[in-house]
Structure 1
């Protein structure tokens, strides 16, 4: 099958999940561009996909790397721009009103709480809790052992529960 056809099929199957991953992982600005970047990288790297994992797992690994690259880029740009030039510039990760209109109150609180957690906790909560990936799929994406996925997911849920004002049993 043609590589563009394969990627097109995967796009239709998994782009919504990857979009949601980016929304929770790095804030909503330019999410569509980042989803496109995932599939551009997938086209370029398709010959290296050996089928040892599912296409979804492979695409989420790419998405995680794109997210890390984007966060690094934003941090670099933040420090490069002189303070005087930043006065009237809207922040890169500004949360748009449209984004919050789409969320109900519970999701707004969940979104803000997840954003306040450390990176590993955010990753595992998004992959396991929101995108409902298996322990094994998350382990492949994060390059962790199954046990690390389980323990980190447990700790992340407890941390999230504390953020949301729940009990810590």
Structure 2
């Protein structure tokens, strides 16, 4: 699968960091930039709260289905948590079985017609701040998308720090 050159979209997302209305202005720009560069049908940003053992939703492209007030408990023993939050490595789920493995709300996700995901860690100063999450139809995301997506996710550091 060929993707467009991500540099113009990356440039737009980076420029949004300088605009007023943060962090919302950046989150909207990041959603648009990743839609152009990689594609998604659902886009969320979660802020990791290690003290509470939760990932709290900071942004959602579908606030009716996934409101910003929502959260997901962190299962510290799950391999997804170790990979994404502890090791800081992206996770790509390619099909419905992967979604079932990774997400406790997999039935809701399937009901929305989504069957692949890409979770991009956002880290600062050696610790996880959260994740940028993209979902789409089965087979949409690749490991190359995760490499590109990591560049976009790194831009989310100041915006996620502002969520505190």
- Which TM-score band applies after superposition, normalised by the shorter structure? under 0.3
Greater helix content = 1
Greater strand content = 2
User: How high is the TM-score relative to the length of structure 2?
Assistant: 0.26
User: How high is the TM-score relative to the length of structure 1?
Assistant: 0.25
